[in-house]
């Protein structure tokens, strides 16, 4: 059984169902905003997608404030006052998110077991830092992580001030270059260098065969496919595609990657739970007895 001392895990759709909670939250917000603005939901969805495509980020924070309809409706107001004018819509988003953002089965228990084993655990995500940090804190996961690798927020500042950080949370933040995205193996090589780790004793866990697993395999890491994170109801997926930042170029690139890795086989398939990693790998610290994170 392969020994692992560094675990790199994706966040969205690996630790929790991002597709479900985000689409449910965004559509609840859109429905309320349409009533406030006296426009159709379809109109707002079209404008939201344009904002998402502009930033190449489907969950661009406060994208609603950058839609043409809202800019016209709140012309002359500060961002804080714009947010206040749409407070009910943002409240609807937050209420649904608070209810629907939950961990997959076995995630908390699995992370606790990893910490107890003494290995280093770091997160890697293409979600921007404010969103990734918020979710880790909201779900109570910060005690399980040594570090987080994510891109910085690339838009306007939070209407009420600085974005949330991991201050006093014991997590090392490593900001990724905006153009260094999955499945670029340079991303993983950078993470390995940051934690002084070797590919043969490192494990990558993620839900995407094309982006996560292909990257891990090419970089020489052990790979665990979180297949349980790929099951999304058709309705939720269609809603996501409707407002996503994906362009025709993005779709073509994904198809190219699929053709490049037609027979990709990860080292482990997690079809039921995150905890299945313990049936495939042995976890122990690189220098036994020196890991202080517990």
**Residue 173, phi then psi, degrees to nearest 5:** -100, 130
Do 7 and 61 lie in one domain? The reply is no
Residue finishing a domain among 67, 83, 100: 100
Quick check: is 205 in a domain? yes
Query: What's residue 286's pLDDT?
Result: 87
Query: What's residue 82's pLDDT?
Result: 96
Do 96 and 108 lie in one domain? The reply is no
Count of structural domains within the chain: 2
- Written as six digits, the tokens of 218 are 């090419």
Quick check: is 195 in a domain? yes
Quick check: is 291 in a domain? no
Do 66 and 88 lie in one domain? The reply is yes
Distance separating alpha carbons of residues 227 and 266, to the nearest angstrom: 11
Do 10 and 36 lie in one domain? The reply is no
Using CA atoms of 60, 61, 66, 70 in order, give the dihedral in degrees to the nearest 10. Answer: 130
CATH number at residue 155: 3.40.50.1000
Q: What domain range includes position 62?
A: 21-100
Quick check: is 292 in a domain? no
Quick check: is 54 in a domain? yes
Query: Do 183 and 215 form a contact (C-beta atoms < 8 A)?
Result: yes
Residue finishing a domain among 72, 100, 128: 100
* pTM recorded for the entire structure: 0.91
DSSP string, 135-179: HHHHTT-GGG-SEEEEEPP-SSPPTTSSPP--TTTT-EEEEEPTT
Quick check: is 25 in a domain? yes
Residue finishing a domain among 37, 69, 100: 100
Do 8 and 147 lie in one domain? The reply is yes
Quick check: is 91 in a domain? yes
Do 134 and 166 lie in one domain? The reply is yes
Q: List per-residue pLDDT tens for the chain, 294 residues long.
A: 999 999 999 999 999 999 999 999 999 999 999 999 999 999 999 999 999 999 999 999 999 999 999 999 999 999 999 999 999 999 999 999 999 999 999 999 999 999 999 999 999 999 999 999 999 999 999 999 999 999 998 777 778 766 655 454 679 999 998 778 899 999 999 999 999 999 999 999 999 999 999 999 999 999 999 999 999 999 999 999 999 988 777 767 766 776 777 678 999 999 999 999 999 999 999 875 433 333
Query: What's residue 289's pLDDT?
Result: 42
Do 140 and 261 lie in one domain? The reply is yes
Nearest to 203 by CA among 105, 115, 283, 111: 283
Quick check: is 238 in a domain? no
Do 9 and 131 lie in one domain? The reply is yes
User: Cα 264 to chain center, whole Å?
Assistant: 23
Do 146 and 222 lie in one domain? The reply is yes
Do 28 and 75 lie in one domain? The reply is yes
Query: What's residue 291's pLDDT?
Result: 38
Query: What's residue 111's pLDDT?
Result: 99
């Amino acid at each position: 059984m392969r020994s692992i001392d560094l675990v790199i895990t994706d966040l969205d759709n690996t630790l929790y169902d991002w597709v479900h909670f985000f689409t449910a939250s965004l559509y609840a917000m859109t429905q309320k905003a349409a009533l406030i603005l006296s426009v159709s939901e379809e109109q707002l969805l079209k404008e939201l997608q344009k904002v998402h495509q502009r930033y190449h980020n489907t969950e661009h924070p406060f994208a609603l404030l950058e839609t043409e309809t809202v800019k016209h409706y709140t012309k002359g107001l500060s961002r804080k006052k714009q947010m206040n004018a749409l407070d009910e819509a943002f409240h609807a988003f937050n209420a649904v998110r608070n209810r629907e953002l939950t961990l997959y089965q076995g995630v908390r228990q699995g992370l606790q077991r990893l910490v107890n084993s003494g290995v280093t655990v770091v997160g890697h995500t293409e979600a921007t830092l404010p969103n990734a940090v918020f979710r880790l804190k909201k779900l109570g996961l910060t005690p399980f992580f040594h570090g987080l690798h994510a891109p910085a927020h690339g838009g306007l500042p939070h209407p009420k001030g600085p974005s949330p950080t991991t201050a006093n949370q014991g997590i090392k933040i490593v900001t990724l270059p905006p153009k260094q995205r999955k499945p670029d193996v340079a991303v993983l090589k950078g993470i390995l260098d940051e934690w002084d780790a070797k590919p043969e004793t490192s494990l990558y866990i993620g839900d995407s065969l094309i982006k996560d697993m292909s990257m891990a395999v090419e970089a020489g890491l052990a790979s665990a496919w979180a297949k349980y994170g790929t099951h999304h109801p058709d309705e939720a997926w269609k809603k996501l595609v409707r407002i996503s930042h994906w362009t025709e170029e993005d779709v073509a690139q994904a198809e190219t990657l699929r053709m490049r890795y037609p027979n990709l086989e990860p080292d482990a398939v997690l079809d039921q739970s995150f905890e299945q990693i313990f049936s495939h790998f042995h976890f122990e610290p690189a220098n036994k007895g020196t890991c202080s994170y517990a």
